[in-house]
Amino acid sequence: MDKVINRKDLAFFALGGLGEVGKNMYCLQYDNQIFVIDSGVLFPDEHLLGVDYVIPDFEYLKQNQEKIVGLFITHAHEDHIGGIPYLLKQVKIPKIYAAGISVDLIQSKLMEFKDIDPIQIIEFKSYYTYKFKEIEVSFIRLNHSIPDSFAFVFKTPYGTVVHTGDFKIDLTPVGPQAEYEKLAKIGSEGVLLLTADSTNALVPGFTESERKIGDSIKELFSHIKGRAIVATFASNIYRVSQIIEASVINKRKVVVFGRSMAKTIEIGQQVGYIKPPKGTIIEPEDVVNYKPEEITLLCTGSQGEPLAALSRIAGGTHRQIKLIPGDTIIFSSSPIPGNQEGVNKTINLLIKNGCNVITHSPLTDTHTSGHASQGELKLIQALLKPKYFLPVHGEYRMQRVHADLAISCGVKPENAFVLENGDVFCINERGARIAGHVHSGEVYIDGNQIGDVSGSIIRERKVLSEDGLFSLIITISPDKKILPIEPQVVSRGFIYMKDSEALTKKIVDLASKFINNEMNKVKVVNLNILKYNVQEYLAKVIYDETDRKPMILAVFMVLK
């Protein structure tokens, strides 16, 4: 695989993050050095039944781990750091380079995995520079929906490479200002290659400032009469801080639900991004000591996740919190594509319980994106003026539109490349090219196991969820070539036995006749072959009778 990349090629490729929103992992390789950028997870959609996370396939890094310089983290969202524990289990990473709150969140995450050897985490500042063999790495602070988000600048023998990470142009940010002067300076010096976030490339205009959303939340809180229950991403520290600040202004105590939310607030307080006055955050059991209008419940579950705090509250299964008619529930984040059904289910349960539900609308701006829209993407192009451009972090249609935006800003059409995971973009003294492909793919995480869920298992789970299971328990004497008793049927999620006696009897009779015929055809009964043939036959019979395709299992009970 490594023959794709010559030693003096400057190569960029992704093991995750292209053609998808999630599992971001990008690599810059030059002269037997690999700089790994981010190691994220992808949250599975409804088709990946029982799968907790999807991570990149690390095979290329495993085969070339002696070349890895380090893992460089742009920011601390799960789609950029969630895969780190699984990476460290499989690949030797010399060091992790991260900044600010990213260091704390990575350390906290690694503490949950007892089987990982300690690793050195180097905390960089925006003015730091690290020098490697012919490569110099520096950093540019940008704005996102989490503090300490950075672009990376790689100065190479062929020119400067800029990787933006996730960002937006926010001129009135909640946290520190972005370092636009650095972007302008690097642009004036010349940028060889820009790789930039494409998540909002389909959205025209400019993304709203985080500060405006904070003002909207404060205004909204002043009109809420009863309890306020706010659901948002635990990782959106700025939003969490704004919700706590709005609660303080309106003389409300804050109660936190959800393990990830509690962890975020704890770390946010430690590093100074969340600063509630003493006594603002109270324990769940103390809620009874306050009136409803004196309480804000801050929880996870804005995406309708079945096990998140808000979903359990809505379903009446939460151990500590029960809904009160008149509660106001605020969804302070928009549904991720694919999550709308779960969000709608939660909203319906809340309304059924007499709650007021507020989602994103022009009158109640409770969410803004952390990603740059088209106007900001064009501004970055104008500031950096790259020779070559690669859109990253987005579905193919987002990447395609982003490439067209770059071309409209002056990038030559032949210099804008839309890649897929594994495609290798190489630059050397002769120019740029797509050099080939390195191994890439996805690995499913189910529980604590890595990669033990194959595509066939997912397909089986899908069949079980849609068409159920039909099992035929067959008592058989292969030596005598007889069925001493009638086969027994077990059905799960396919047919209700008491209401389908005639159908069940027909299937059993046909199966018995088929088995007897099969045994009479041969001198010696091979149970493995017979089992396969019976299952194939039952699949045809059941489909003809019901127009459905359940999972079919034939079980032999052998009598001598």
- Mean pLDDT, the chain, whole residue set: 88
What angle in degrees, to the nearest 10, is found between the helix axes of 101-110 and 259-271?
140
User: Token pair of 229, please?
Assistant: 């229950």
pLDDT of 457: 59
pLDDT of 42: 87
For the entire predicted model, the pTM comes to 0.78
pLDDT of 361: 52
pLDDT of 363: 42
Q: What number does CATH give the domain 7-205+369-450?
A: 3.60.15.10
Sign of the alpha-carbon dihedral angle for 250, 367, 17, 30: negative
CA distance 354 to 328: 9
Q: For 210-358, give the CATH class.
A: alpha beta
Contact partners, residue 137, CB within 8 Å, separation at least 6: 35, 72, 97, 129, 130, 131, 152, 153, 154, 155
For residue 447, how many other CB atoms are within 10 A of its CB?
Answer: 10
pLDDT of 1: 44
Cβ contact 71:45 at 8 Å: no
User: Token pair of 65, please?
Assistant: 């781990």
pLDDT of 453: 54
Residues of the chain with CATH 3.60.15.10: 7-205+369-450
Residue with tokens 């999620």: 493
Question: How wide is the angle at C-alpha 106 spanned by C-alphas 100 and 109, nearest 5°?
Answer: 145
Closest CA to 83 of 130, 35, 148, 16: 16
Give me the residues paired with residue 410 across strands. none
User: Token pair of 2, please?
Assistant: 């490594």
CA distance 83 to 74: 14
Question: How wide is the angle at C-alpha 213 spanned by C-alphas 209 and 215, nearest 5°?
Answer: 115
Third-level CATH fold of 468-558: Ubiquitin-like (UB roll) (3.10.20)
Contact partners, residue 290, CB within 8 Å, separation at least 6: 253, 282
Cα-to-chain-centroid distance, residue 532: 39
Residues of the chain with CATH 3.10.20.580: 468-558
Cβ contact 437:59 at 8 Å: no
Could you tell me the CA-to-CA distances from 437 to 7, 28, 61 in Å, in that order? 16, 14, 14
501 phi and psi angles, rounded to 5 deg: -65, -40
Identify the three-state secondary structure at position 122: strand
Low-confidence ranges of the chain (pLDDT < 50): 1, 49, 362-364, 366
For residue 27, how many other CB atoms are within 10 A of its CB?
Answer: 21
What are 219-254's pLDDT values in tens digits?
889 889 999 998 888 888 888 998 999 999 999 999
Residue 353 burial (10 A CB sphere; 0-12, 13-18, 19+): middle
Cα-to-chain-centroid distance, residue 39: 11
Give Dmax over CA atoms of the chain in angstroms. 89
Give me the residues paired with residue 29 across strands. 11, 34
Closest CA to 35 of 83, 96, 119: 96
Residues of the chain with CATH 3.40.50.10710: 210-358
User: Token pair of 533, please?
Assistant: 């043939």
Q: Write the DSSP assignment of 394-409 as a string of letters.
A: B-HHHHHHHHHHHHHT
